[in-house]
Amino acid sequence: MTQATQVTSASDGRRLTLRRGVALLGSLAAVSALVTVAGPGYLWPLFLFPLVLAAVFFFELGSLAVTVWLGNFFVLYYSFAAAPTPDIVRQALLGTALFLVAGLLLGRIQRGHRDVQRDLAASTLTDRLTGLYNYGTFVDYLHNEVTKVDRYGGELSLLMLDLDHFKQFNDRHGHEAGNALLRRVGATLRGAVRDADIAARYGGEEFAVLIRGDETHGYELAERLRRAVETVAVEARGGEVSCTISAGVASYPDGAADETQLVERADDALYESKRRGRNRVTICTGAAERQPASLSA
């Protein structure tokens, strides 16, 4: 998630919290006014409505706040009314206690539901094995970023990376070792990209990284990733094993006409790295690929 998206989400979250707080306070005020005018009698269970709102909106903390409000309401009401009888005192204490237990239980249930929904939402955006964004999320993000460049200007660089000889790695060391390697590579990519960039598992053993910057920035990042992956090792039959990656870099708008061509150009550069012997980075600039001498490893 980009920094801009995080700021927007935080701002939206604050506005939503404010609206929920206003709704809760409004319901409490309305119920309190009604019960005050009509007398507690059998109307005090109307506080169930703000209690449920508090549990849904603010979980256990909200339920506790409503219960405190209810207790203080009873104290204040009977302070200005006739002296309460023992039965009324018992009813008030019992009602407050029941509200507290029910509210805390509702809040806990709602928090668990929220956590499940959050996990489900995250699972639709990320790849379960590597923890990177998945293909669908990447495609949406790429489209949005290309649209921003078209509208506001700037440059994008796309890095396509592929583990070298991964099929042979799996055949030799087993799929569990292969999965462990994919997880470690995913963690390496996550740790190397900025908040404003995105790293995704494009498919199989292929990864994609989209950054803001020209092809030089893309090449420098791809080289750092290539060197970092060289140091990644996982346990397998016979000891620790490692792997290398090949990478291709393409830029937009200088090196591609649209997002589809940007992916194609980066992919072409990736396979040029494979053709040249693997474990290297190639830049695609328009119709021809090159690896500048000033930037080569």
- Per DSSP bridges, beta strands 206-212 and 233-236 are unpaired
Q: What is the DSSP letter of 77?
A: H
How far apart (Å, rounded) are the C-alpha atoms in residues 65 and 214?
A: 53
What the block records as the tokens of 67 is: 């219960």
Question: How far apart are the C-alpha atoms of 27 and 53, rounded to whole Å?
Answer: 9
Distance CA 165, CA 154 (A): 36
Q: Are 245 and 162 in contact (CB under 8 A)?
A: yes
Distance of alpha carbon 77 from alpha carbon 105, whole angstroms: 27
Annotation says 205 is catalytic: yes
Q: Are 189 and 225 in contact, with CB atoms under 8 Å apart?
A: yes
Q: Which of 145, 205, 215, 272 is catalytic?
A: 205
Instruction: Retrieve residue 288's tokens.
Output: 């021809």
Of the candidates 208, 212, 218, the one whose C-alpha atom is nearest the C-alpha of residue 195 is: 212
290 closest CA partner among 262, 242, 255, 260: 255
Give me the active site residues, please: 205
